[in-house]
Amino acid sequence: MSKYVITIARGYGSGGRTIGKMLSEELGVPYYDRELLRLASDDSGINEQLFAKADEKLKKSPLYKIAHNVYKGEIIPPDSDEFVSNDNLFNYQAKIIKELADTETCIIIGRCADFILKDNENAVRIFVHAPFEDCIKNVKELSDNPDREIERQIVAIDKRRSDYYKYYTGRDWQDAKNYDLCLNSGRLGYQKCVDIVKTYLKIRFAECNSSA
């Protein structure tokens, strides 16, 4: 096997992004997070700021709470009034995710990548979570906000991510069936999570091609 792609969905404050960066360094493979916005902007010609505004967010319309627009791979053409819609911005990000997975070994953070690559046999889908008190502690290390504000922030961001995932996939963001590995970073710590993923790669693919 010459290529694999690791997708990481994560609860806010769980350290999923940090674990992704650690894996990138230890495996020697590229890591994509907000870089996807620039790549999608370059590919589509749509201003990167529009991608940033729509990034893992939904409009506040109540329709988004009941409607789904499950991603099927389409790209809306430039002559359409919907070319710069949130749905088409998602479509272009998904296009970039698929192209990266087809061309290189890499790590992709968030953006429903596990669903977008559901038919990719070499995709490793990971969900990182942690007890609420651990998430509070982790966020507190990076924020001067009071605990109560941090608690509200964690709940709000996880709700936003869950709604975003449901809208574009039709699935429950926290459903273990969506993933190959669900890791409790609060119980394991970041390094053990990294070690478990590396061991899983070796078992699943017989060898871990860290130089790919």
List domains and CATH numbers for the chain: 5-203 (3.40.50.300)
| pLDDT tens sequence for the chain (212 residues) | 568 999 999 999 999 999 999 999 999 999 999 888 888 888 888 877 877 777 656 555 554 555 566 777 777 777 787 787 778 888 888 999 999 999 999 999 999 999 999 999 999 999 999 999 999 999 999 888 888 999 999 999 999 999 999 999 999 999 999 999 999 999 999 999 999 999 999 999 875 444 44
Global pTM?
0.86
CB neighbours of residue 137 within 10 Å: 15
Q: Helices marked H in the chain — which ranges?
A: 16-27, 35-44, 48-54, 86-103, 113-116, 132-140, 147-169, 185-188, 190-205
Q: Which pLDDT score is estimated for 211?
A: 43
